Structure 1
Amino acid sequence: MQSSIKNQTGEHTVLNNTAALKNGTLKPTDLSAIKIWQDSSGKLWTLDHRRRAAFKLSGLKEIPVQCASEKEVAGKMWKMTTKTDEKIIILKMSYGIKRVIDS
């Protein structure tokens, strides 16, 4: 849904989580399940972009997901900024550095 995300949120970063998932110090189940929802055309969307990016970059084929409630989806529609139908997301890092993540 989002066109871009920040690498860091609180003390965690997408790239650190990616590295930890790759080397096994972080298990997929150590993170909260990614909330997903399906639109009227049948397309699946996520509400949890940073975790989704970390899983994507780690190369894991299976990730924990959970269906979002209608209330959760409605409360996050302000994030619907994708112009690429969620095919890419921009990971914004420090000093203006950006990385494109393909879905």
Structure 2
Amino acid sequence: MASWTRRTVATVFVGTAIAAGVATPASAQPVNDQDGLVNVAIGDVTVLQDVNIGVAAQVAATICGVKVGPVAVLGQAVDRSGDTQTVCETDQGPVRLVQN
């Protein structure tokens, strides 16, 4: 019986340690500047600065003639990662979502 108890306690301890190990790296990740705001640029000109992702997605989608949903996803990715995303190409230059 003692062997069964030891195995049970060891299993619970190992399970808890694994769960804590999985949770710890997530809390140690650097904090990004996620504020829900991005810029919209056409070519070299910023046409909207520090606007809500939804507004930026509406404007960029209208300019590009595409659906808003995918553009909003791009805006969220820009806000999270800081990477610039091109929505489409126009005669005036690329329509880009840029981290503010």
Fold-level similarity (TM above 0.5): no
State TM-score, norm by structure 2. Answer: 0.21
Q: Which has the larger radius of gyration?
A: 2
Structure with greater helix percent: 2
* Higher relative contact order (CA closer than 8 Å, sequence separation 6+): 1
